[in-house]
Amino acid sequence: MATHDGSTRYHHGNLRPTLLSVARALLEEGGPAALSIREIGRRSGVSAPAAYHYFNSLDAIAAALAEQGFVELSESIDAALAGPRRNLLAGGIAYVAFARANPGLYRLMFGEGFQAYSKGNEAIRALRMQVYGQMKDDLEKRLTPEDVPNAALFLWSLTHGLALLMIDGQVEPGADPDAKVEDILKLAGMGLPAAR
């Protein structure tokens, strides 16, 4: 079997990271459904069962990718929250921007892709909660304590929903999607416009 640079060593030498980056490319090409252990092996220049030395299953690869995603999303939100505008709006914009830049990954992190039911996606749920906690912590600096839980869920719902609608192509693509996101998220602070 040949490595992807043409040489033909028996040992790949750098397989685990290669598998992950190939998997991630696959994920962005075709969404979570396109993740395939055989295809990952093929593109990595390696036979399919080789992956089983580093991951117990295809689901384990998906979980590793999701974990990467949560780290990156978390960093991205942190950066926005610490940036020049240091407000919730900036955090929300960063959140949606991450989803738009990594739609396959975002769907993996928050969609099915793991059997949403039955199985032990307990780890994923915890990672999601961590992101939620990040928003919540920030809200605690701004609101009275009893308002926080509902405000946090409100904000998360809005941001999550907007992110999904956008990566699902459900928002008519205007000239400047970032501006659109900002317009929508701004309404969170004011509520809907007054009735006429």
**Site for DNA, rule CB under 7 A:** 1, 9-13, 15, 35-39, 41, 46-50, 52-53, 56-59
CA-to-CA distance for 33 and 181, rounded, in angstroms? 27
Q: State the Cα–Cα distance between residues 149 and 115, nearest whole angstrom.
A: 28
Q: Taking Cα atoms as reference points, which of 156, 171, 153 lies closest to residue 110?
A: 156
The token duo for 193 is: 């416009």
- Strand ranges for the chain from DSSP E: none
Partner from DNA, a copy of itself, none contacting 47, C-beta within 5 to 8 A by type: DNA
Q: Is 57 in the site for a copy of itself (CB under 8 A)?
A: no
**Size (the chain), residues:** 196
Smallest gap from Cβ 116 to DNA, in A, equals: 17
CB atoms within 10 A of CB 167: 19
> Do 185 and 158 form a contact (C-beta atoms < 8 A)?
yes
In order of 117, 125, 164, 195, the CA distances from 111 in angstroms are 12, 11, 9, 35
Neighbours of 37 (CB within 10 A): 18
- C-beta closer to DNA: residue 53 or 86: 53
Binding mask 149-188 for a copy of itself (x = CB under 8 A): -xx-xxxxxxxxxx-xx--xxxx--------x--xx--xx
Least separation in angstroms between CB 12 and a copy of itself:
29
80 binds, among a copy of itself, DNA, none (CB under 5 to 8 A by kind): none
| 70-89 footprint of a copy of itself as x/- string (CB under 8 A) | --------------------
Which is closer to DNA, CB of 42 or CB of 100?
Answer: 42
Least separation, in Å, of the C-beta of 119 and a copy of itself?
10
Q: What's the min distance (Å) between Cβ of 11 and DNA?
A: 4
